[in-house]
Amino acid sequence: MKRSVMFYSIVLTIILVLVFCDTFPDQQSISSKLIFKATISNTTNLKDTVLFTGIDIKWINLATGEIRFVDSFAISKIKKFHWIKCYQDTDSLFTATITSDIMSSIVNDLVLNLNSYDNHYYFGDGYPAWIDNLRDTNIRNQNKKNRDASWSRFIEQLKKEGRFKEEYFPM
């Protein structure tokens, strides 16, 4: 009697595992190849610390450049640094300068800007976003062209992980 109860218990457990295995998240959905490191220097990796990974990204909207995080912790953490470096596994993709709407300097390369109006971060090709200067516009265009391949890899990885929005969604 005890053996038959044990046998049926094992068979029932195996059946339940097989039936419900699709309801558990697979490794792809709970991991990310994207790693973002924060640094106080844009040239060395000596003091780089992992700030967040792709898991912490809810989505990125290509039309607006907005990056939304799963948890708001990232906003306060990012504010403490001047540069953020993006890696896909161990390959360096790009470095972005952390900016905010109260800066008075010009940055002509990729930025991650904190918008003080909505307290969200946005990727941009420079800061300030609007600039009426042919020299700076040309530098921004050249820098954007130089990072096209790595930016494409970044976007493709976001798409694979389901963290990408191509269309505009006003929030």
**pLDDT recorded at residue 35:** 93
% of the chain surpassing 90 pLDDT: 48
Count up the domains in the chain and report the number.
1
Closest CA to 91 of 143, 49, 34, 159: 34
Q: Provide the residue range defining the domain that includes 54.
A: 32-165
- SS3 of the chain: helix, strand, coil, percent, to 5: 35, 30, 35
Residue 105 lies in a domain: yes
Closest CA to 65 of 127, 135, 142: 127
Residue 130 lies in a domain: yes
**pLDDT recorded at residue 22:** 44
Residue 27 lies in a domain: no
| Distant-in-sequence, close-in-space partners of 164: CB < 8 Å, separation ≥ 6 | 59, 60, 62, 155, 158
Residue 122 lies in a domain: yes
pTM equals 0.75
Residue 57 lies in a domain: yes
Apex 76 CA angle, 73 and 81, nearest 5: 125
List, for residues 56-70, the tens digit of each pLDDT value: 999 999 889 999 999
**pLDDT recorded at residue 170:** 45
Closest CA to 53 of 81, 18, 88, 23: 88
**pLDDT recorded at residue 25:** 41
Residue 141 lies in a domain: yes
- pLDDT at 108 exceeding the cut of 90: yes
Residue 49 lies in a domain: yes
